[in-house]
Amino acid sequence: MKPERIQKIISNYGQFSRRQVEDFIVKGLVKVNGETATLGDKATIDDAITVKGNRITFKTRHDYYVLNKPKGYICAREDKMGRTAVSLIDNPQKRNLFTIGRLDVGTTGLIIITSDGELANRINSPSSKIKKTYLVWVNTLISKADQIKLQKGVTLANGYTTQPLAGFKPLSFGDNESSFKMVLTEGKQNQIKKMFQALDSEVINLKRVQIGQMKIDSLPTGQYAKYTKEKLFQLLGIT
């Protein structure tokens, strides 16, 4: 087996992100065959790799789920109140599942849950450009000028200007409410909410209905579907 960077091997295992592993390496908490690792070191899954004294047991098989996340659940590995999205998955093999990306506690819709750290790295990479479609309800009427800003890119409070939208469609307008379909190819934390905050509006409901070619369709809230790696990669446009 061809040696790879240690942080890639460990993140593929699924327990830690690549950034976390790099931090562990810098702190001297990662060892390969008894020797303290440094950034840039390479290894294979046949080596004895430990993190904070615990040996990594590599799994060659991963699970892939798509969940229609309900409100009230968080995209984290652990929660004292038992509100993790992962807890909704029946996981008899006790694989180390985690969500790819995050939907905040009040946001509903599609979220991918897996044990495949390499897939997470590929989807989360800025170069992936995987389209994610949302239905958004806000508490104000959005002017034509602001709709154009949303489509072309909005400068957020932190100074970041969002990428142009891959799709935008007004859905409804009421006395004090508007709704839209928005298609993003990036996923900054709470991005859609921050985009509307920059326009002095507040998102009152947010639902992700599509990732790549994978649609929410008739998947009930709180339910999930299991996918093969091949089918999931096909729907995401990953080769």
Q: DSSP letters of 191-215?
A: HHHHHHHTTT--EEEEEEEEETTEE
Query: pTM, whole model, 2 decimals?
Result: 0.76
Q: Which two tokens stand for residue 90?
A: 């029946």
CB 112 within 8 Å of CB 123:
yes
pLDDT of 225 strictly over 90: yes
What per-residue confidence (pLDDT) applies to 95? 63
**Residues 15-26 pLDDT 10s:** 687 888 999 999
Q: Calculate ∠ Cα 98-119-161, nearest 5°.
A: 90
**Residues 94-124 pLDDT 10s:** 567 899 988 999 999 999 999 888 888 888 8
Which range (98-102, 116-120, 127-131, 169-173) has the least confidence? Answer: 116-120
Task: Dump the DSSP string for 10-27.
Answer: HHHHTSS-HHHHHHHHHT
The CATH code of domain 64-127+214-236 reads: 3.30.70.580
Per-residue pLDDT band for 194 (boundaries 50, 70, 90) equals very high
* Residue percentage of the chain with pLDDT more than 70: 96
What per-residue confidence (pLDDT) applies to 78? 79
Q: How many angstroms separate the CA atoms of 118 and 145, rounded?
A: 41
In whole numbers, what is the pLDDT of the chain averaged over residues? 90
Q: How many angstroms separate the CA atoms of 169 and 127, rounded?
A: 25
What per-residue confidence (pLDDT) applies to 49? 93
What per-residue confidence (pLDDT) applies to 59? 62
* Residue percentage of the chain with pLDDT more than 90: 64
What per-residue confidence (pLDDT) applies to 45? 82
Topology of domain 4-55 in CATH is 3.10.290
CB 49 within 8 Å of CB 57:
no
Helices 18-26 and 6-13 cross at an angle (nearest 10°) of: 130
> What's the number of CA atoms in the CB half-sphere (13 Å) around residue 77?
10
pLDDT of 144 strictly over 60: yes
Q: How far apart are the first and last CA of the chain?
A: 21
Q: Which superfamily is assigned to 132-211 in CATH?
A: Pseudouridine synthase (3.30.2350.10)
Residue 193 region by backbone torsions, left for phi larger than 0, else alpha for psi between -120 and 50, else beta: alpha
Domain range summary for the chain, segments of one domain joined by +: 4-55, 64-127+214-236, 132-211
C-beta neighbour count of 150 within 10 angstroms: 21
What per-residue confidence (pLDDT) applies to 123? 86
90 labelled catalytic:
no
Of 104, 116, 200, 217, the active-site residue reads 104
